[in-house]
Amino acid sequence: MLCPNCDVEMTIRTGVRVTGDKDPDTATRVYLVQRFFCRNPACPAFGREQASVLHEMQTETDTPGTEEPAQSAHETDKLAAT
């Protein structure tokens, strides 16, 4: 992605954002966050975040209580064997 101020390709920093993990009534969601920073020292926006993109990731914990631990262990065994 290009900086909107100087049209130089920006640096990307990637992180993870989790929402709802503190509230049992809210579904936990995990996002991959890409933040774009200008890297042109001559640009007034140098070093500042110019854009961010959020990608929601699939989680296995959306429906707590329905997962059977025995089944998960079995799948792990199957993966290890291949």
Which chain residues interact with Zn ion by CB under 5 A?
3, 5-6, 38, 40, 43, 45
By beta-carbon proximity to Zn ion, the closer residue of 28 and 40 is 40
* Closest CB 12 distance from Zn ion, rounded Å: 14
Q: What is the CA radius of gyration of the chain?
A: 20
Q: How far apart are CA 79 and CA 24, in angstroms?
A: 31
By beta-carbon proximity to Zn ion, the closer residue of 1 and 32 is 1
* Closest CB 44 distance from Zn ion, rounded Å: 7
By beta-carbon proximity to Zn ion, the closer residue of 11 and 28 is 11
* Closest CB 46 distance from Zn ion, rounded Å: 6
